[in-house]
Amino acid sequence: MGMFTESIEVSRAANGMPLRVKWRGREYRLVAEPERWFERRKWWDENLRIPRGIGAGMADYEMWRLQLAPATGGGAPQSVDVSFDPQSERWRLVRIHVELARSA
């Protein structure tokens, strides 16, 4: 598994669940229900203080594990982990599992 951060485009359903991904000019579709969790941000390195009442987005990253396959043609499903920042509404690819990294 490789770890880095790169901007990606994610199309979402009305409930916020990812549906499709565009990365490096290629389209991918989800082939399994995505898994969602939160990871603690090292806010103490980024900010000296967090205002009272601010949590999600400031203290935690919203993470999704996606099982992707190319939107056109064949290909075995691959796993990636992406993060979503609700304040900027940006998606970042943060982990690529080995199989996808080899085919990219």
HSE toward the beta carbon, residue 10, CA cutoff 13 A: 28
- The H-or-E segment that residue 24 falls in is none
Q: pLDDT tens across 20-55, in order?
A: 999 999 999 999 999 999 887 665 665 555 566 555
- The answer to whether 78 touches 30, Cβ cutoff 8 Å, is no
- The H-or-E segment that residue 63 falls in is strand 60-70
HSE toward the beta carbon, residue 59, CA cutoff 13 A: 8
Residue 100: pLDDT band with limits 50, 70, 90: very low
63-to-34, 56, 76 alpha-carbon distances in Å? 10, 12, 23
List, in order, residues 6 or more apart from 104 with CB less than 8 Å away: 23, 24, 96
pLDDT of residue 31: 92
Number of domains in the chain: 1
Q: Select the more confidently predicted residue: 95 or 39.
A: 95
Domain of residue 96, residue span = 2-103
pLDDT of residue 2: 47
The arithmetic mean of pLDDT across residues 88-100, rounded, is: 82
Q: pLDDT tens across 46-88, in order?
A: 555 556 655 545 557 789 999 999 998 777 888 999 999 877 8
